[in-house]
Amino acid sequence: MTLTRAAVVRAGSVLLALLLLAWVATTISVGDALTALARLQPGDIALLLLVNGGMLALFTARWWLLLDALGHRVPFARLVAYRLTAFGISYFTPGPHAGGEPYQVYAVVRRHAVPPADAIAAVALDKLLELLINFAMLAAGVVLLLARTEMLVPLPEAQIVLIALIPVAAPLLLLATLLRGHKPLARLVGTRTTRPPVWVGALLRAEAQSVYLLQHRPRALWRAVAVTLLSWAGIVAEFRLLTQLLEMPLDLLESLTALVAARLAILLPMPAGLGALEASQALAMSTLELDPSLGVAIALVIRGRDVVLGTVGLLLGGVTLRPQSPRPRPATTSPE
């Protein structure tokens, strides 16, 4: 039996997750981690859930603004539910931060009659801005992490900064290209075929809508950027709140160090960053000369929160995907 490349990747990700979990198990004290978790009171958990609900609303606001700029007033609460389902799909599948976007397109097309091209354009721009700002913030965090921990890196500081900025280049270049009115996908398809398939035609129309929005609705773009930056401020504040509720002796820079490690860990191609999140927090605490068990306590709270949210999202998505029952037709009587 021949293994496919996808099967090999999945097996490799599972093996890596198990190795990381095994390393964590030999590094921490389970009792100390549970002691740290016991510091959370019911009111603390309620506060964390409230803050996380606000974060979910911020993440959804960017998508809502883009749809609104394209002329579609979709109820905000519905978009929050769709975004939560998309998170659940992305969270429980390999490759975090991707996977739920087709569902977002499908939901607004099916439930709110948004044209497919507009739905794809809004989701694509939403993801593009998210990647751009996220990679930029993580690049700044990596530089901060290296400076803070004084890691031995055999490269000059300028080269470290350039390497950290490499992931930012692709989304930034694509955004700049669209802002200038260029359509790279249309150019690529035009050189290959004169009759593109239906799905390619939808993507071409979505690209044209993206260019229209960026050039003729610039205020919506800047609002979306502002919301993304605000959401990052919320991410930092939420993580800082968590460390304080767990009574961890971390200052702001130390909290940022642990946060950057966590965000980088969940980018690894494994479902829910399994093993990587726990290892990143244990390593971050060790680097900061603290008990690595405290890092695992942080990871367990984050994982518990995300599992609950992802599960709720999948349940909501099941309702959305359920076939709509046809409306009953009025009874008719045959003439006597």
For position 93, what pLDDT does the model report? 76
User: For residue range 253-279, what is the model confidence (pLDDT) as tens digits?
Assistant: 888 888 988 888 887 777 777 888 899
Length in residues, the chain: 336
What is the spatial distance between Cα 21 and Cα 300, in angstroms, rounded to a whole number? Answer: 12
Tell me if 267 is assigned to some domain: yes
pLDDT band at 161 (very low <50, low <70, confident <90, very high): low
Check pLDDT > 70 for residue 311.
Answer: yes
Higher model confidence: residue 10 or residue 283? 283
Residues with Cβ within 8 Å of 215's Cβ and at least 6 positions away in sequence, in order, are 179, 181
- The CA-CA-CA angle for residues 25, 28, 32, to 5°, reads 125
Return the number of other C-beta atoms located less than 10 Å from residue 257's C-beta.
21
Check pLDDT > 50 for residue 91.
Answer: yes
What is the spatial distance between Cα 200 and Cα 294, in angstroms, rounded to a whole number? Answer: 49
Residues with Cβ within 8 Å of 79's Cβ and at least 6 positions away in sequence, in order, are 60, 63, 64, 67, 108
Tell me if 273 is assigned to some domain: yes
CB 204 within 8 A of CB 185: yes
For position 322, what pLDDT does the model report? 67
Average pLDDT (133-158) is 68
If you average pLDDT over each of 44-58, 96-110, 264-278, which comes out highest? 44-58
CB 316 within 8 A of CB 308: no
Check pLDDT > 70 for residue 186.
Answer: yes
Tokens of 63: 């998508």
Q: Give the structural domain span for 243.
A: 31-319
Least confident of 31-35, 160-164, 201-205, 244-248: 160-164
Domain count of the fold of the chain = 1
Average pLDDT (125-145) is 85
Check pLDDT > 80 for residue 124.
Answer: yes
Tell me if 334 is assigned to some domain: no
The 8-class DSSP code of residue 38 comes to T
CA dihedral 109, 112, 118, 119 (to 10 degrees): -50
Return the number of other C-beta atoms located less than 10 Å from residue 166's C-beta.
10
Q: In the chain, at which residue ranges do the beta strands (DSSP E only) sit?
A: none
Tell me if 8 is assigned to some domain: no
Closest CA to 257 of 272, 240, 269: 240
Amino acid in position 205:
R
Tell me if 196 is assigned to some domain: yes
* Average pLDDT value over all residues in the chain: 83
Higher model confidence: residue 331 or residue 281? 281
**Diameter over CA atoms, the chain:** 95
Tell me if 222 is assigned to some domain: yes
For position 152, what pLDDT does the model report? 46
Tell me if 60 is assigned to some domain: yes
CB 138 within 8 A of CB 263: yes
CB 91 within 8 A of CB 272: yes
Tell me if 309 is assigned to some domain: yes
pLDDT over 70 for what percent of the chain?
84
